[in-house]
Amino acid sequence: MRFVLLSCLIVAVLGSGLYFAKLTVDEQYRTLKQLELEIKSQTEHNYVLQAEWTFLTRPERLLRLSHSLLGMNAITPERILPISSIPMRRSVTTSIPNADAGVENVAY
């Protein structure tokens, strides 16, 4: 008799434990699914935003707007110089003959 009662108790405890474990897993699973849906939804928004951004920043539009609103034109070759053509700043001690004449005399 004692064995029967003990078995019943063990079964009941295990069953309840499993049931609660399953409930917890179900809850976690629901959360996971919700998160997955949210990610997909955000990805969709991302697709739309990327498409909108591409549409608004398409070179044809930027070209038109920069020309009409900012008066910008294509850069001419004369305005492009290699970095080496920019004169280096001369050393203050060696290149300024009249150093105490003030800042205005500093040559670049």
Q: How many residues bind another protein (CB under 8 A)?
A: 42
Question: Are the C-beta atoms of residues 90 and 84 closer than 8 Å to each other?
Answer: no
Nearer to another protein among residue 83 and residue 88 (C-beta): 83
In Å, what is the CA distance from 77 to each residue of 19, 58, 68, 81, 82?
Answer: 78, 25, 22, 8, 11
Nearer to another protein among residue 77 and residue 97 (C-beta): 77
Instruction: Based on the shown chain and the rule CB under 8 A, indicate whether residue 54 belongs to the binding site for another protein.
Output: yes
Task: Name which position in 6, 31, 35, 63 contacts another protein (CB under 8 A).
Answer: 63
Instruction: Based on the shown chain and the rule CB under 8 A, indicate whether residue 70 belongs to the binding site for another protein.
Output: no
Distance CA 86, CA 80 (A): 11
Nearer to another protein among residue 71 and residue 77 (C-beta): 77
Instruction: Based on the shown chain and the rule CB under 8 A, indicate whether residue 35 belongs to the binding site for another protein.
Output: no
User: What secondary structure letter does DSSP report for 37?
Assistant: H
